[in-house]
Amino acid sequence: MTPTKTLDIAGLETVYDALATAIDQAGQDQAELFLVKLALLNANALGDAGLFQQHLQAALNDL
């Protein structure tokens, strides 16, 4: 079993900043489509539909 890779705080901040910039670039009218495309690309890269479902539920918590 390979160890799970995680980001440190600096890595998370970098990803957050890149995501915020990309959402701004997509614009209000295309932001939802952009996020769906990004989620599908990341789900494919993850390669595990069950784990993706777990991530969806975690993201929905405390909205």
In single-letter form, the type of residue at position 54 comes to Q
In a domain, 54, yes or no: yes
Q: Which residues of the chain have pLDDT under 50?
A: none
What distances in angstroms separate CA 23 from CA 11, 29, 32, one per listed residue? 18, 10, 9
Per the CB < 8 A criterion, the answer to whether 9 and 1 are in contact is: no
> Where do we find the tokens 């900043």?
17
Per the structure, the count of domains in the chain is: 1
Question: Residue 4: its pLDDT value, please?
Answer: 77
In a domain, 3, yes or no: no
In a domain, 51, yes or no: yes
Question: Residue 5: its pLDDT value, please?
Answer: 87
* CA–CA gap between residue 39 and residue 23 (Å, rounded): 13
